[in-house]
Amino acid sequence: MKKLTLLAFSIHFLIAGQGITQFKLSQPTLFEHKDVTGKVFQHDFDSKILDNSRKIFVWIPEGYNLNKDKYPLLVVHDGKAVFYSKNGGFGKRNKLKKDSLPKPGWNLDETVHELIQSKKIKPIIMVGVSNTNNRGHEYVPTRNGINFGKALTQELIPEIKKLYRIDYEDIGTLGSSAGGLISLYLGWERNDVFTKAACLSPGIIYRDQNYFELFKKAKVPDNLKLAIVNGTDNFDSGLQLGVDKCIDYLNKINFSKENLLYWVDQQGSHSSRSWSHQAKDILLWMYK
């Protein structure tokens, strides 16, 4: 009987060992690419809460190593499209011939570098968190978004804090589409960590999921700078209902006008090209 018990325990241990048993963030390695502006470090992040792994890209501002200052932290979703993207990142590919954008993807490294150098915003650290095949669940609060938020707040950010000098009182998040939705959730319901949230083309109500019903029942955050923007193409127009309901609710509860930036981008589409331009305006507002 003891042998059978020991055998069962050993099998259980081996099976459990095949998954991720503890979270970790690997030591940084320099991410080098001709299209990247500034210094970006790459990490492997293993999450026990989500039981999966992904790449993390950390962009640090020029002069970081010349001082001991702490910097605001901006967590950006769909991280592979933040600083460099081989195929344009999530959404339609940037039409480079008709735009001033230097490359596919979000171009946040060029944008933030330019804004800092021109002293239009204060220096910040950006963390691009790559998505996984579970993006449609991890970025949606009515599915697995709550656990995704826990993975960020309980696992990733504390580890980032150990390796980089971040201001723990100034942490923001930015994303588009489902990434914009999870940004809204993090700012609204995890305001204990995130004090800024930028939500581009957020899927607040989309197909079979309706985050607005949970949004209006949650406690109103005490200190949140919230930016919401949506385009007018066929896809974004389908998201406008959820955006309208959210803005109407914010007006109803007298959410601070100083802490809310909202507009409809009449030329905006569900694309990296539009999000690149919209993000620049939002960052100017958030970090001026």
Task: Report pLDDT digits (tens) over 134-144.
Answer: 999 999 999 99
Q: Say if residue 174's pLDDT is above 60.
A: yes
Contacts of 182 (CB under 8 A, 6+ apart): 77, 138, 139, 140, 141, 145, 148, 149, 173, 175
Residues 255-280 pLDDT 10s: 999 999 999 999 999 998 899 999 99
Q: Say if residue 7's pLDDT is above 50.
A: no
In angstroms, the first-to-last Cα distance of the chain is 69
CATH architecture of the domain covering 23-287? 3-Layer(aba) Sandwich (3.40)
Structure confidence at residue 5 as a pLDDT band (50, 70, 90): very low
Nearest CA to 107 among 28, 7, 37, 207?
Answer: 37
Question: Can you give the residue ranges of every domain in the chain?
Answer: 23-287
Q: Say if residue 112's pLDDT is above 90.
A: yes
Six-digit token string for 210: 């309706």
Q: What is the pLDDT of residue 86?
A: 60
| C-alpha–C-alpha distance, residues 159 and 156, integer Å | 5
Q: Say if residue 121's pLDDT is above 90.
A: yes
